[in-house]
Amino acid sequence: MVFKLDAVDAYERKLVKQIEVAAASVEGGHNKAYIRLLSVSNKKGVITAKVELDKLMQTGKVERQIETVQDGNNLEMSAGGRAVYADCRAGEIRVAKGEEFMELRYPGGEQYLHLGEAYGDVDALAVQRQMIHRTIKEHLDKEKRLRPQGIKVLSLFFIDAVEKYRRYDAEGNKVNGDYARIFEEEYRRLAKHPDYQSLFKEVNLTTAAEDVHNGYFSIDKKKVGSKTVEVFKDTKGTTQADDDTYSLIMRDKEKLLSFDTPLKFIFSHSALREGWDNPNVFQICALREMASEQQRRQTIGRGLRLCVNQNGERLRGFEINTLTVIATESYEQFAEKLQKEIEDETGIRFGIVETHQFAGVTATGVDGQPAPLGFEQSKVLWEHLRVAGFVNAQGKVQDTLRQNLKDGTLTIPEPFSAQLPQVKEILRKLAGRLEIKNADERRQVKSHQAVLQGADFMALWDRIKHKTTYRVQFDNEALLVTCIKAFAAASPIAKTRLQWRKADLAIGRSGVDAKETATSAPVTLDEGDIELPDILTDLQDKTQLTRRSIHRILVESGRLDDFKRNPQQFIELAAETINRTKRMAIVDGIKYQRIGADDYYAQQLFETEELSGYLKSMIDANKSVHEQVIYQSDIERTFAEQLEKNEAIKVYAKLPGWFTVPTPLGPYNPDWAVLVQADDGERLYFVVETKSSLYTDDLRDKESAKIECGKAHFNALKVGESPAEYIVARTVDDVLSYTHTEGNYGKG
């Protein structure tokens, strides 16, 4: 395997929405005998049921626990002797597929509980009302923020039974079920709230509440009295009727994204086979139990795609793309179960470092050319981590490794020192966990008026606020020569190969254990029937160069014979090499120019543009333009703490997402604006990009290219006395040690 984009990669690279969970947890509701049937079992003729009870623990507190019971068991004993369970007993337990239930006998009666059903629970509709209310509130909060950016917000409800949302009376008239009734009540209630008046100007709330929600379910035409009506039924996504449903769901997806369509809240019964999804789903409310891990992943998958605006343009960044899941379990439980599913389905082993993990790390080969480190050297590195106590014998990450990565103190043997940045990146991914945010910890961040309106920050802002435009100039001949050299030196292309692996199988009580005993040398497969594709057309589509230019690169690189060896690998390698070279050539020839005196980012945007973050990812600040600093990494957190403590720092700002520099590679958002006062009173102004390494070789091509564009942009703004200087830094000490030898700084 050369490369794999897995679920964790997609999340870390922000190719999907960030996930946060708003958990509806009932606390203190232990005043009745509560019993929920979770499962039934027949093992070797012993029939049992797993039930959830409110059990009295040794600590003296009541906690919800899972107990296994049989026919006739006294539930008072299972619940730790709680009196509210007096005379409650388990009765008949049936395990026949499709008929699973447990008879519950209690004083004065009996009840048959089917899987997932509960006796003595708090009013289910009361909890679901709160979940619907929270979903609408989350929706309106996002709509206030995203509608001005041309983004229509959608919310999706998954329900347990269609009749709870919509049904028909005896005359065939449509009647709202409980969920639809509660939705309209809560929608009208929140629409009158002062916080949302800007969204409901001149809106008839009675009709608006009816028009903004609808449901997609399987449809049967049926006679009810004298009318032919649409009868909605539960579906699992497996029948012919469901195929009709897919047409209904998918037909108007683009229309649904338009502000002209009032529908914003969609009710659905199940995740279905492929399911209904839409890039602008920002809230998912699970009004039914997510019984299986597959259901959990299918459920949130309906809202993970990055959103689009009214022009159909894809918008990126977690500051816009956050999916809020409203659920009845804690966000820790949700994260744990989702993570387990990802491990089971994708093979990712969170917190485990394998011996082969570093085989693909780039090193310098014996011929002086870049080459992968290889399996044997990867094992040497892994053994160092084990001996150092960073992983145990099974490869499980230890806290010492996490601490070293956080502190930036990780070291590896000298022969691998050049590969340290790549090794760190791999270990950070393996040592971390898939982070799910807690919606209850999200906070609005206010501006520091004393700092924002102060003379120091105004002086800093005046030096960086102006916008620019850029022009790209490059030598076409030089670009082609560079592409030819780069492709000629690119990695070799091998034919398709087969490799045999032999293993001994040991069959015992613990299962089947396979142990690899031998591995053969790779055997090349002769694929004489390969049909060669149109290479010029393929590469023209992938690189946007002319066919003449591509032909020259391929011929003069001397690698055309490789094309017949493995056409697909050849095309991918050529496209990647050309595009990387082209990106760097564009950046090398870029020229920025300030647009005009009146075109700039107004200082008032710090007050009018909402900024929010999570408590676990923010620290209090005194010198910052905001009352809290929101950080995205340990490096940013450490940098912010250093800014606060260092007396030479007068004011600073973590630059918000709306402050961007245009580049050919997409908008670039620098990290910090900092004002430093030197010992002699000189005031120095900086725009700082914080990175773990100051060497551009350690950064990805696109990342280093954007940094070069940032330098060019701020160089174009150097007008007047003491202009702002753009630098890359790891720590505040790097900023303070920076000296400008040309003496452009004067007194601030």
- CATH code, 193: 3.40.50
CA 463 distance to own-chain centroid: 35
* Cβ atoms of 702 and 665 closer than 8 Å: yes
Contacts of 422 by beta carbon, 8 Å cutoff, 6+ apart: 358, 361, 362
Can you give the pLDDT at residue 117? 85
| Same domain assignment for residues 56 and 153 | no
| Same domain assignment for residues 166 and 214 | yes
Q: Is the pLDDT of residue 216 over 80?
A: no
> Among all chains, which residue has been given the structure tokens 């709680």?
82
Give pLDDT tens digits for 80-104: 988 889 999 999 999 988 889 999 9
Can you give the pLDDT at residue 661? 93
Report how far apart, in Å, the C-alpha atoms of 476 and of each of 345, 483, 546, 549, 585 are: 47, 11, 11, 10, 9
Confidence of residue 481 (pLDDT cuts 50, 70, 90): very high
| Same domain assignment for residues 152 and 274 | yes
CA 417 to CA 423: how far, in whole Å?
A: 10
Mean pLDDT of the 185-204 span: 85
Inter-residue long-range contacts of 338-347, CB under 8 Å, 24+ positions, other chains counted: 338/293, 338/296, 338/297, 338/300, 338/434, 338/436, 339/433, 339/434, 340/293, 341/293, 341/294, 341/296, 341/297, 342/7, 342/8, 342/297, 342/434, 344/293, 345/297, 346/6, 346/7
Can you give the pLDDT at residue 201? 76
| Same domain assignment for residues 375 and 483 | no
> DSSP 3-state assignment of 364?
strand
| Same domain assignment for residues 692 and 706 | yes
Backbone angles phi, psi at 440, to 5 degrees: -70, -15
Can you give the pLDDT at residue 507? 32
Instruction: Convert 393-420 into a string of H (helix), E (strand) and C (coil).
Output: CCCEECHHHHHHHHHCCCCCCHHHHHHH
Q: CATH number for the domain including 701?
A: 3.40.1350
Mean pLDDT of the chain: 80
Mean pLDDT of the 16-45 span: 82
Q: Is the pLDDT of residue 142 over 70?
A: yes
Backbone angles phi, psi at 40, to 5 degrees: -130, 155
Backbone angles phi, psi at 584, to 5 degrees: -70, -35
CA 683 to CA 497: how far, in whole Å?
A: 63
Q: Is the pLDDT of residue 627 over 90?
A: yes
Minimal CA–CA distance to 666: which of 698, 639, 703, 631? 703
Residue 449 lies in a domain: yes
Give pLDDT tens digits for 308-318: 999 989 998 88
* Cβ atoms of 586 and 474 closer than 8 Å: yes
Final residue of a structural domain among 67, 93, 119: 119
Count CB neighbours of 2 within 10 A.
9
Residue 173 lies in a domain: yes
Least confident of 293-297, 314-318, 546-550, 591-595: 293-297
Would the pTM count as exceeding 0.75?
no
Q: Is the pLDDT of residue 243 over 70?
A: no
| Same domain assignment for residues 525 and 673 | no
Report how far apart, in Å, the C-alpha atoms of 42 and of each of 95, 97, 534 are: 7, 11, 61
Give pLDDT tens digits for 530-581: 667 888 998 998 888 999 999 999 999 999 888 887 888 888 899 989 988 8
| Same domain assignment for residues 729 and 616 | yes
Residue 579 lies in a domain: no
Helix (H) or strand (E) holding 68: strand 62-69
Mean pLDDT of the 674-698 span: 76
CA 261 to CA 214: how far, in whole Å?
A: 12
Residue 554 lies in a domain: yes
CA 12 to CA 282: how far, in whole Å?
A: 19
CA 735 to CA 744: how far, in whole Å?
A: 16
* Cβ atoms of 100 and 114 closer than 8 Å: yes
Q: Is the pLDDT of residue 646 over 70?
A: yes
Q: How many CA atoms lie within 13 A of 179 on its CB side?
A: 29
> DSSP 3-state assignment of 701?
helix
| Same domain assignment for residues 535 and 457 | no
CA 502 to CA 427: how far, in whole Å?
A: 30
Can you give the pLDDT at residue 241? 46
Minimal CA–CA distance to 91: which of 76, 69, 61, 120? 69
CA 302 to CA 279: how far, in whole Å?
A: 8
Final residue of a structural domain among 551, 567, 583: 567
Can you give the pLDDT at residue 428? 80
CA 68 to CA 90: how far, in whole Å?
A: 11
| Same domain assignment for residues 188 and 300 | yes
| Same domain assignment for residues 160 and 297 | yes
Residue 25 lies in a domain: no
| Same domain assignment for residues 275 and 227 | yes
Contacts of 524 by beta carbon, 8 Å cutoff, 6+ apart: 494, 495, 496, 497
Residue 216 lies in a domain: yes
Most confident of 143-152, 323-332, 348-357: 143-152
Final residue of a structural domain among 345, 365, 384: 345
* Cβ atoms of 179 and 187 closer than 8 Å: no
| Same domain assignment for residues 184 and 327 | yes
Least confident of 236-240, 357-361, 375-379, 493-497: 236-240
Which of left, alpha, beta for 347 (phi over 0: left; psi -120 to 50: alpha)?
A: left
Q: Domain count for the chain, please give it.
A: 5
Residue 670 lies in a domain: yes
> Which domain does 59 fall in, by range?
35-119
Can you give the pLDDT at residue 163? 85
Q: Is 506 exposed, middle or buried (0-12, 13-18, 19+ CB in 10 A)?
A: exposed
Please tell me the chain's helix, strand, coil percentages from 3-state DSSP, rounded to the nearest 5: 35, 25, 40
Least confident of 139-153, 428-442, 597-611: 428-442
Can you give the pLDDT at residue 330? 62
Residue 409 lies in a domain: yes
Can you give the pLDDT at residue 206? 67
